[in-house]
Amino acid sequence: MDEMGEFGIRVNLFNFISTTVYKHYLTDQPLPLYWINQICIDQSNISERNAQVKLMHAIYSRAELVAIWLREPAQDSDIAMRFLGGRRMAALSWFSQEGRRQTAVHALSRRLISPRCLDALQALSNRRYWQRIWILQEVAFAGRCVVYCGDQSITWEQVVRFLRLSSIKSKDKEDHFSIDLSPMGRVASIATFNNAASPLWPQSLADLLIMSDPSKSTDLRDRVFALLALASPNSKGEVLEADYSKTTLEVFEPVLRHLMSDALCMGAGMVTWALDKALGIRIGSGIEELREEFLSHPRPAHPLIAPLVALDFAALARKEPPGKLRTALREWSPF
């Protein structure tokens, strides 16, 4: 809030508020009470941000509805939204659930889904929103989700219904559903698992980092903080907590130790796997590649490399590191 008592918001949030308020005005429905992080959390107050991250599970699980805002219409998004919430999609879904053969389902889909509609569905699935790291817990804990794009809206169940249909593979070389729906599909799979008889959560932090690898965040620390509500304690019963007063290196050093605690319990070979898969440090399957990756980065390059100096490379490799590595560790170590 500025000196004039005015609170500025981003254009994207303004568009969402104006669209939903106008829609409720037209239908004469009472305006719901929204929780919006950008407004409800003082982003300049570190203590408040830390406390609110811990409350995210409760906020989303207790909400009557979680709104997913895909921004303004573009690339025929109205066509995609109307199809997902329309009778053709409902008919296809019913037809596929009646035990019909794959070839019959795909034959009907060719009649009901035009190439233009397929392109629109592809574009909708590739919207940047689906890559947000925070959406994973928003969807995982929500009891009810509604997806908005401009003035169009559909239920989350309608999204999942289409993705299940598109997962039916045809033996035809020209598969009608040979489009990439993975950005939206990855998020939908999380919600589907979470609502199953055996919920997906909590998961190990290593598994969560792997699942969320394609996700994006403007603050690298959120690659960890956005997953903590979904994560189980490590093998020692340790639980990480969000702390925005820490630097990126200070955040990732305990994360690496957290991962190593589980990896070492599973065997020495799992250590490089945890680093490679979970944190995206492409080190291959052996300690020699780990050494080369570490030594090839001029100080202080890769934001995840420096915390590696806190690890006991000798224990991981089960042998004494060579003098070159030992010297490098001594020069790099900030701990």
* Annotated domain spans of the chain: 11-194, 205-332
Q: Which of 44-48, 157-161, 176-180, 292-296 has the lowest mean pLDDT?
A: 292-296
Q: Rounded to an integer, what distance in angstroms lies between the CA atom of residue 36 and that of residue 33? A: 10
Does residue 84 register a pLDDT over 90? yes
Q: What is the 3-state secondary structure (H, E, C) of 120-159?
A: HHHHHHCCHHHHECCHHHHHHHCCCEEEEECCEEEEHHHH
What pLDDT, on the 0 to 100 scale, is given for residue 312?
A: 38
Q: How many helices (H) and strands (E) does the chain have?
A: 18, 3
What pLDDT, on the 0 to 100 scale, is given for residue 76?
A: 95
Q: How confident is the model at residue 155 (pLDDT cuts 50, 70, 90)?
A: very high
The DSSP bridge partners found for residue 63 are: none
Q: For residue 203, give the amino acid letter.
A: Q
How far apart, in Å, do the first and last CA atoms of the chain sit? 39
Q: Are 119 and 149 a contacting pair, CB within 8 Å?
A: no
Burial class (CB in 10 A: 0-12, 13-18, 19+), 245: exposed
Q: What is the CA radius of gyration of the chain?
A: 23
Q: Which DSSP letter does residue 276 get? A: I
Mean pLDDT of 308-335: 42
Q: How confident is the model at residue 322 (pLDDT cuts 50, 70, 90)?
A: very low
Q: Rounded to an integer, what distance in angstroms lies between the CA atom of residue 225 and that of residue 137? A: 11
Complete edge-to-edge strand list for the sheet that includes strand 66-69: 66-69, 145-149, 152-155
As given in the structure block, the two tokens for residue 233 are: 């304690």
Mean pLDDT of 84-110: 84
What pLDDT, on the 0 to 100 scale, is given for residue 220?
A: 80
What pLDDT, on the 0 to 100 scale, is given for residue 298?
A: 46
